[in-house]
């Protein structure tokens, strides 16, 4: 039975080839082989930090230095990370017209680095840092080099600098909601990759496609919250399965 995920890949390829409009929906699992552990996993940043103390609306006021220690640690982790075979396969599927774009929960920017053109960042992204008070932009390209004595970073107006990622206690950005609605509109195939469906409200998006009569394909290693939603399940890691799926789709 060890080859059964390859059979599921073949089914998935058949569905993708016939899709009117397919979209990929990705999460932390796709970036793990790029050296970015899932924040929620053992060894991830949430095993070192309490998210409420370093990544919440409240923490930006009560613990700005702690927020910034966390941001610098994240920057150190993101800085050397490069797209892996799964990101690249999705970019190629888009370039060849088999998927309309990627809706991601990740903030690491690796889909864009891989060459994906249409990327909707549901939880915000790591570019375009700004001052919370006056919204002036701040160049974050050296954030990974900052020393503890330089933290927290403030704007000349005194406001705290932050990245445009969704912190705990914040809602999904209006533009992300609008863009994801636009991307999912008319989508009849959703390709879930590397996300087990624990995070709300993002985890409700596959059900939306399913309820509209669409087909849901899932590429995830192990059991997930999408068991009742997925029509085709490829039980394999993204970096193994997506290049195989790509070859089957284009062959």
Active site amino acids: 123
Nearer to Zn ion, 69 or 154 (CB): 154
Residues in Cβ contact with 71 at an 8 Å cutoff, skipping those fewer than 6 apart: 143, 162, 163
- Alpha helix (H) residue ranges in 2-137: 4-18, 51-54, 57-62, 64-78, 85-95, 110-114
Q: Helix 85-95 vs helix 238-250: angle between axes, to the nearest 10 degrees?
A: 30
Q: Per-residue x/- marks for Zn ion, 141-170, CB under 5 A?
A: --------------x-x-x-----------
- The first and second tokens of residue 54, run together, are 């370093």
- Site membership for Zn ion, residue 44 (CB under 5 A): no
Residue list 205-234, contact with Zn ion (CB under 5 A): none
Q: Judged by CB under 5 A, which stretch of 2-10, 32-40, 86-94, 129-137 contacts Zn ion?
A: 129-137
Of 238, 173, 251, 167, the C-alpha closest to 25 is 238
CB of 136 to Zn ion, least distance (A): 5
Q: Does 134 bind Zn ion (CB under 5 A)?
A: yes
Residue 131 near Zn ion by CB under 5 A: yes
The answer to whether 29 and 220 have CB atoms below 8 angstroms apart is: yes
Residue 130 pairs with which residues in a beta bridge?
Answer: 137, 162
Q: How far is the CB of 140 from Zn ion (least distance, A)?
A: 15
- Verify binding: residue 133, Zn ion, rule CB under 5 A: yes
Least distance in Å: CB of 128 to Zn ion?
14
CA distances 57 to 54, 62, 177, 201, Å, are 9, 9, 20, 18
CB-based contacts of 93, cutoff 8 Å, min separation 6? 16, 24, 99, 246, 249
Applying CB under 5 A, the span of 48-56, 136-144, 201-209, 237-245 interacting with Zn ion comes to 136-144
Residues binding Zn ion: number (CB under 5 A): 7
Nearer to Zn ion, 133 or 182 (CB): 133
User: Where are any strands of DSSP class E within the chain?
Assistant: 22-26, 101-104, 119-121, 129-131, 137-138, 161-162, 189-193, 215-219, 232-234
155 is known to lie in a ligand binding site? yes
**Taking CB under 5 A as the rule, which mask of x and - marks residues 59-98 in contact with Zn ion?**
----------------------------------------
- Our finding on whether 57 is near Zn ion (CB under 5 A) is no
Residue 149 DSSP symbol: G
- Least CB distance to Zn ion at residue 154 (A): 8
Annotated binding-site residue numbers for Zn(2+): 131, 134, 155, 157
> For binding to Zn ion (CB under 5 A), which residues are involved?
131, 133-134, 136, 155, 157, 159
Annotated binding-site residue numbers: 131, 134, 155, 157
């Amino acid at each position: 039975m060890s080859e059964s995920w390859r059979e599921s890949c073949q089914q998935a390829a058949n569905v993708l080839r016939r899709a009117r409009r397919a979209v990929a929906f990705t999460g932390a699992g796709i970036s793990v082989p790029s050296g970015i552990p899932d924040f929620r996993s053992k060894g991830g940043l949430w095993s070192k930090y309490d998210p409420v103390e370093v990544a919440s609306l409240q923490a930006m006021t009560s613990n700005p230095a702690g927020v910034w220690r966390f941001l610098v640690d994240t920057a150190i982790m993101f800085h050397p990370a490069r797209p892996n075979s799964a990101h690249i396969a999705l970019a190629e599927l888009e370039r060849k017209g088999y998927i309309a774009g990627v809706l991601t929960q990740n903030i690491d920017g690796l889909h864009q680095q891989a060459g994906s053109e249409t990327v909707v960042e549901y939880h915000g992204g790591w570019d375009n840092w700004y001052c919370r008070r006056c919204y002036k932009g701040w160049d974050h390209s050296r954030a990974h080099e900052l020393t503890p004595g330089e933290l927290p970073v403030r704007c000349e107006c005194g406001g705290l600098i932050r990245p445009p990622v969704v912190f705990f206690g914040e809602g999904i950005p209006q533009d992300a909601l609008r863009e994801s609605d636009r991307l999912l509109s008319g989508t009849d195939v959703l390709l879930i990759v590397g996300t087990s469906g624990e995070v709300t409200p993002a985890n409700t998006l596959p059900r939306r496609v399913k309820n509209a009569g669409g087909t849901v394909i899932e590429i995830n290693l192990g059991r997930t919250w999408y068991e009742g939603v997925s029509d085709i399940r490829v039980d394999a890691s993204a970096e193994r399965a997506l290049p195989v799926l790509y070859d089957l789709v284009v062959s």
